[in-house]
Chains A and B, each alone.
Chain A
Amino acid sequence: MYYAVTIATLVTMGLALIRAILGPSVYDRVLAVNMIGTKTVLLLSVIAFLYGRPDFLDLALAYALINFIGVLAVLEFFRNRALRRSTEPDRET
Chain B
Amino acid sequence: MIVIFGVFLLTLLVITAIAIVRTENLFVAVMLQGIASLFIAGNFFLLDAADVALTEAAIGAGISTVLFLSALALTSERERSKSSNKMLSFTVVAVAALVLIYATFDKPRFGDPNAPVQTHVAPWYLEKTPEYIDIPNVVTAVLGSYRGYDTLGEVLVVFTAGIGVLFLLGSGAPLGSLPQEKINEGLRHHLIPRVVGRVLIPFILLFGLYVQFHGEYGPGGGFQAGAIIAAAIILFALLEGEQRALSVIPARVLLGLVAFGPLLYLAVGIAGIVLGGNFLDYSVLSSDSVTGQQLGILLIEAGVGITVTGVLLSIFHAFAARGR
Task: Give residues in A with beta carbon < 8 Å to B.
Answer: 3, 6, 10, 13-14, 17, 20-21, 26, 29-30, 32-33, 36-37, 40, 43-44, 47, 50-51, 53, 55-56, 58-59, 61-63, 65-70, 72-77, 79-81, 83-84, 87-88, 92-93
Binds A, one of B145-153, B178-186, B283-291: B178-186
CB contact between A69 and one of B15, B28, B235 (< 8 Å): that residue:
B235
Min CB–CB distance A80 → chain B (angstroms): 6
A6 to B206, alpha carbons, bound, how many Å?
Answer: 30
Q: When the two chains form their complex, are residues B54 and A73 in contact, meaning their CB atoms are under 8 A apart?
A: no
CB contact between A66 and one of B8, B50, B62, B214 (< 8 Å): that residue:
B62
A80 to B70, alpha carbons, bound, how many Å?
Answer: 10
CB contact between B178 and one of A13, A59, A68, A83 (< 8 Å): that residue:
A83
Q: When the two chains form their complex, are residues A66 and B45 in contact, meaning their CB atoms are under 8 A apart?
A: no
Write out the residue numbers on chain B whose beta carbons fall within 8 Å of the beta carbon of A43: 42
Contacts known (A40-B42, A62-B54, A93-B77); A70 close to B34, Cβ less than 8 A: yes
Min CB–CB distance A9 → chain B (angstroms): 10
State which size class the interface on B falls in. Answer: 35 or more
A32 to B48, alpha carbons, bound, how many Å?
Answer: 26
Write out the residue numbers on chain B whose beta carbons fall within 8 Å of the beta carbon of A76: 186-187, 238
Q: When the two chains form their complex, are residues A87 and B177 in contact, meaning their CB atoms are under 8 A apart?
A: yes
Q: When the two chains form their complex, are residues B187 and A72 in contact, meaning their CB atoms are under 8 A apart?
A: yes
Write out the residue numbers on chain A whose beta carbons fall within 8 Å of the beta carbon of B186: 76
Write out the residue numbers on chain B whose beta carbons fall within 8 Å of the beta carbon of A93: 76-77
Write out the residue numbers on chain B whose beta carbons fall within 8 Å of the beta carbon of A13: 12, 39
Interface readout for B36-68 with A: 1 if CB under 8 Å, 0 if not? 001101100110101001100110011001100
Q: When the two chains form their complex, are residues A83 and B177 in contact, meaning their CB atoms are under 8 A apart?
A: no
Task: Tell me the nearest residue of chain A to B16, going by C-beta.
Answer: A17
**Is B209's beta carbon under 8 Å from chain A?**
no
A61 to B72, alpha carbons, bound, how many Å?
Answer: 29
Min CB–CB distance B280 → chain A (angstroms): 28
A55 to B15, alpha carbons, bound, how many Å?
Answer: 32
A6 to B16, alpha carbons, bound, how many Å?
Answer: 20
Contacts known (A13-B12, A87-B178); A73 close to B35, Cβ less than 8 A: no
**Is B224's beta carbon under 8 Å from chain A?**
yes
CB contact between B48 and one of A17, A20, A36, A51 (< 8 Å): that residue:
A51
Contacts known (A44-B45, A66-B57); A30 close to B31, Cβ less than 8 A: yes
Write out the residue numbers on chain A whose beta carbons fall within 8 Å of the beta carbon of B224: 62
Write out the residue numbers on chain A whose beta carbons fall within 8 Å of the beta carbon of B54: 58-59, 62
Write out the residue numbers on chain B whose beta carbons fall within 8 Å of the beta carbon of A59: 45, 50, 53-54, 57, 219
Interface readout for B114-149 with A: 1 if CB under 8 Å, 0 if not? 000000000000000000000000000000000000
Known pairs A56-B45, A66-B62, A70-B34 / 14 extra A-B pairs, C-beta < 8 Å: A20-B32, A26-B31, A36-B35, A37-B61, A40-B41, A55-B217, A56-B50, A58-B54, A58-B218, A62-B207, A66-B58, A70-B66, A76-B187, A88-B176
Write out the residue numbers on chain B whose beta carbons fall within 8 Å of the beta carbon of A75: 187
A69 to B237, alpha carbons, bound, how many Å?
Answer: 11
Q: Can you show 5 pairs from A to B with CB atoms below 8 A apart?
A: A56-B50, A58-B54, A63-B41, A72-B187, A77-B73
Task: Tell me the nearest residue of chain A to B235, going by C-beta.
Answer: A69
Q: When the two chains form their complex, are residues B12 and A17 in contact, meaning their CB atoms are under 8 A apart?
A: yes
A6 to B73, alpha carbons, bound, how many Å?
Answer: 37
